[in-house]
Amino acid sequence: MKRKDWLELLRLVGNINRSLDLQDVLRAILEEIREVTASEAGSVFLLDEEKGELQFYTVSGGAESTLQAYRIPLEKGVVGYVARTGEAVILNDPHQDPRFLRDLEKQTGYTTRNLMAIPLIHKGRRIGVAEVLNHREGPYTAEDLEVFRALGEMAAVAIQNARLYADLERLFRESLRALVAAIDARDPYTAGHSERVAQYALWMGEELSLSREEQHQLELAALFHDIGKISIPDAVLLKAGRLSEEEYHLIQSHPERGVEILRHIRQFEPILPAVRHHHERWDGQGYPDGLAGEEIPLFARIIAYVDTYDALTTDRPYRRGFSPERALQILQENAGTQLDPGLLPVFRRVFPRMAGEDDA
Ligand SMILES: [Fe+2]
Ligand SMILES: [Fe+2]
């Protein structure tokens, strides 16, 4: 392999490992293999073992490449052959080869002059196929195939990493949701509260154009804002009658208790301030620290809106839930005292979605 090709490969490894998002990884892989093998188009086919299909991602064309996804049955075509046998293939006259799948050409509107296809193998397991089409400099050679194979090995690792990460991330989120749902369910009046507050907060985060990372943190903070209630006894938490002063203080300790629980997990560090301060008030009359105005972390000010909205619109032992419109009115009256008036327009824009008026 030429020195230039190895340098390309090194650059590729950097590029495809920059993100852990599968779509981003595939896009980076496809762009790199197209360039390094001097091909017009590149495709990655990921094996879906359950369905016996290959999920097909392709990038073609110039600077403005688009990632498209198709599905093809495993028994079909050159890539099907490569996926089944694990053999690499070079076809410099594909239309003469019985394995060549003309249907796909019709589907993609792409004419194939020549192609190379290799299996993507990770730890001995076939995870898919990579293919490049239409060499810019005549037929594909054995040396081109060697470069392509080296790329394929790294691509397989990057794809598997992205998949593992996605699985972990899903497991993490689902476990958290199950935990929070179990806590909310102790009190029939708050069932689903945290989940709704998380969804509403996320909508506000989107409206505020927060970064993806910030949106993720805001959602987590909202999901966990009341987790401190886990250590408050049912006799107090579910008490229907008037609370004694002591009981009242106990309930008011839930933000601090929440931080106490979450601070042991490193990933939660960024959300601790939002959990601690979600009952602060804009005018400084809230708890636990009596912070006022912009001293209160932004995420806590956002959660204050959607937390109050959800509390108002759900039934309580002592009253029926308010209508969304009435709740909005109450929040408007409290902007500037309890709530950050600067966030009111944001809340109003998201309100139709919360009220379920946005379904049309
Ligand atoms: Fe709370
Ligand atoms: Fe709450």
Which of 5-14, 108-117, 299-308 shows the lowest mean pLDDT across its residues?
A: 5-14
CA of 95 to the centre of ligand 2 (A): 64
Per-residue pLDDT at 348 exceeds 90: yes
> Can you spell out the DSSP letters for 153-174?
HHHHHHHHHHHHHHHHHHHHHH
Ligand in nearest proximity to the CA of 311? 2
Position 341 scores a pLDDT of 98
What mean pLDDT do residues 37-62 have?
Answer: 80
Position 275 scores a pLDDT of 97
Sheet of 68-73: strand order equals 68-73, 53-60, 39-48, 125-135, 115-122, 89-91
Helix (H, G, I), strand (E, B) or coil at 133: strand
Q: 316 - beta bridge partners?
A: 319
Ligand in nearest proximity to the CA of 190? 2
Position 239 scores a pLDDT of 84
CA of 265 to the centre of ligand 2 (A): 21
Both structure tokens of 98: 């019985």
Backbone φ and ψ for 271, nearest 5 degrees, come out as: -95, -5
Position 95 scores a pLDDT of 84
What mean pLDDT do residues 230-241 have?
Answer: 86
Q: Report the C-alpha dihedral over residues 256, 168, 192, 350, rounded to 10 degrees.
A: 90
Query: Which pLDDT band holds residue 288 (cuts at 50, 70, 90)?
Result: very high
Q: CA–CA separation, 53 vs 106, rounded Å?
A: 19
CA of 213 to the centre of ligand 1 (A): 23
First and final C-alpha spacing in the chain: 58
Position 277 scores a pLDDT of 98
Q: Which of 40-54, 104-118, 263-277, 334-348 has the highest mean pLDDT?
A: 334-348
What mean pLDDT do residues 282-288 have?
Answer: 97
Place of tokens 């590029």: 15
Pair 230, 261: CB distance under 8 Å: yes
Tell me what percent of the residues of the chain surpass a pLDDT of 70.
89
Position 17 scores a pLDDT of 58
Helix (H, G, I), strand (E, B) or coil at 242: coil
CA of 168 to the centre of ligand 1 (A): 29
Q: What angle do CA 80, 86, 90 make, to 5 degrees?
A: 75
Q: CA–CA separation, 322 vs 330, rounded Å?
A: 10
> Can you spell out the DSSP letters for 24-59?
HHHHHHHHHHHHHTTEEEEEEEEEETTTTEEEEEEE
Ligand in nearest proximity to the CA of 287? 1
The residue ranges of DSSP E strands in the chain, in sequence order, are: 39-48, 53-60, 68-73, 89-91, 115-122, 125-135
Report which of residues 89 and 174 the model is more confident about. Answer: 89
Q: CA–CA separation, 280 vs 289, rounded Å?
A: 7
Place of tokens 């408007």: 332
Domain assignments of the chain as residue spans, ordered by start: 3-164, 185-354
What mean pLDDT do residues 37-59 have?
Answer: 83
Per-residue pLDDT at 42 exceeds 70: yes
Position 167 scores a pLDDT of 86
Q: Does domain 3-164 have CATH number 3.30.450.40?
A: yes
CA of 79 to the centre of ligand 1 (A): 55
Would you state the CATH architecture of domain 185-354? Orthogonal Bundle (1.10)
Q: CA–CA separation, 304 vs 278, rounded Å?
A: 6
Position 360 scores a pLDDT of 45
Ligand in nearest proximity to the CA of 183? 2
Per-residue pLDDT at 359 exceeds 60: no
**Which tens digits make up the pLDDT trace of 5-30?**
556 656 665 665 566 677 778 888 88
Q: CA–CA separation, 198 vs 221, rounded Å?
A: 8
Per-residue pLDDT at 259 exceeds 80: yes
Q: Which of 43-47, 80-84, 166-170, 311-315 has the highest mean pLDDT?
A: 311-315
Residue 229 designated active-site: yes
Q: CA–CA separation, 25 vs 1, rounded Å?
A: 25
Ligand in nearest proximity to the CA of 197? 2
Each residue of 36-56: b (16+ CB within 10 Å) or e? bbebbbbbbbbbeeeeebbeb
Report which of residues 114 and 357 the model is more confident about. Answer: 114
CA of 59 to the centre of ligand 1 (A): 48
Pair 215, 206: CB distance under 8 Å: yes
The catalytic residue among 2, 4, 51, 229 is 229
Each residue of 121-143: b (16+ CB within 10 Å) or e? ebeeebbbbbbbbbbeeeebeee
Position 175 scores a pLDDT of 84
Going by C-alpha positions, the residue among 305, 297, 360 that lies closest to residue 334 is 305
- Overall pTM > 0.85: no
Going by C-alpha positions, the residue among 301, 300, 306 that lies closest to residue 339 is 301
CA of 292 to the centre of ligand 1 (A): 17
CA of 184 to the centre of ligand 2 (A): 10
Query: Which pLDDT band holds residue 68 (cuts at 50, 70, 90)?
Result: low
The mean pLDDT value of the chain amounts to 86
Query: Which pLDDT band holds residue 63 (cuts at 50, 70, 90)?
Result: very low
Position 203 scores a pLDDT of 97
Tell me what percent of the residues of the chain surpass a pLDDT of 90.
46
Pair 131, 42: CB distance under 8 Å: yes
